[in-house]
Amino acid sequence: MIPVQFDYAAPESLAKAAQLLQEKEGAAILAGGHSLLQAMKMGEIAPSLLVDLGKIPGLQEVTREGNSVRIGAMTTYDRVAAAPEIGQSALAEAIASIGDVQIRNWGRIGDVFAYRDLACDLPAVALALEATFTIANSSGDSRTVPASEFLVAPLQTALRSGEIVAAIDWPDNAAGTGSAYEKLKHPGSSYTVCGIAAQVSKSADGTISKCRVAVASALSLVSRLPEVEAALEGKAATPENIAAAAKLAGENLAGAEASNNIARVLEIYASAEYRAHLRKVLTERALTRALERA
């Protein structure tokens, strides 16, 4: 039972959906809907209008666009993971680790970003793989925003009023590039206690030419780990170098453990010390597997 009254609309274009969001104060997007409907049932939020994106064509496709794979925002997790364009990657592994079969068959990849659940798996993968978001508005125009600019702060994205995530572009793995995702779930809730997404590229001489590492849930906001990246770039892909770089992931990150509501929630699942340990261990594992795939 949902103890609030609301209107419902199912437009057939992104421009119309964005227009409804602008015109109706308190309107909300209905995509995957799991978090939204749960919050409505608990009386935490009361949207005046639900704008269902289910009838808009082109939002549930996985296509190759130049040197990247474009995933429509309404594509289900299961459809993404099964797409041959994705292959063995951090993205496929992160999706396979989400929830259960029902959630993966119904949840939509754009929903987790637009709903601002930014401490979980996919935002970390988006940072590590340097994804780009296509955002539509009511005039029929769109703009592109890289993941590093889209994920602004805890529970805050770069979406403006009336804008909708239309698609996410994931760059193709170039030759000599591999990625991986490692996580630890809480045994009771299955929520992610810590997740690490890593992508590395090796040059012809075997040294690491590029490294991207991002952490989910173990900090107040999904974040890149530039100290780890810098410690590996230009180095040989040896176990010793990987271990030394991973050790930096477990060190105190200035400002990352800020005292806010999200940080206090994280403390319920694991202490800051334990999460720091997990960052180190999972970073080493993710980097090792990513290099094996490179």
Q: Which pTM does this prediction carry?
A: 0.89
pLDDT in tens for each of the 294 residues of the chain?
677 789 999 999 999 999 999 899 889 888 876 678 888 888 888 999 999 999 999 999 999 988 899 999 999 999 998 999 898 899 999 999 988 888 888 889 988 776 655 457 899 999 999 999 999 998 888 999 999 999 876 667 888 888 999 999 999 877 899 999 999 988 877 788 899 999 999 999 989 999 999 998 866 678 899 999 999 999 999 999 999 999 999 885 544 554 445 556 667 777 888 888 999 999 999 999 999 999
- Kindly report the three-state secondary structure assignment for every residue of 201-265: EECCCCEEEEEEEEEECCCCCCEECHHHHHHHCCCECCHHHHHHHHHHHCCCCCCCCCCCHHHHH
Q: Which residue bears the tokens 């992160």?
A: 94
CA–CA distance, 126 with 11 (Å, rounded to integer): 28
Cα 282–Cα 283–Cα 284 angle in degrees, nearest 5 = 90
Q: Are strands 27-30 and 49-52 parallel, antiparallel or unpaired?
A: parallel
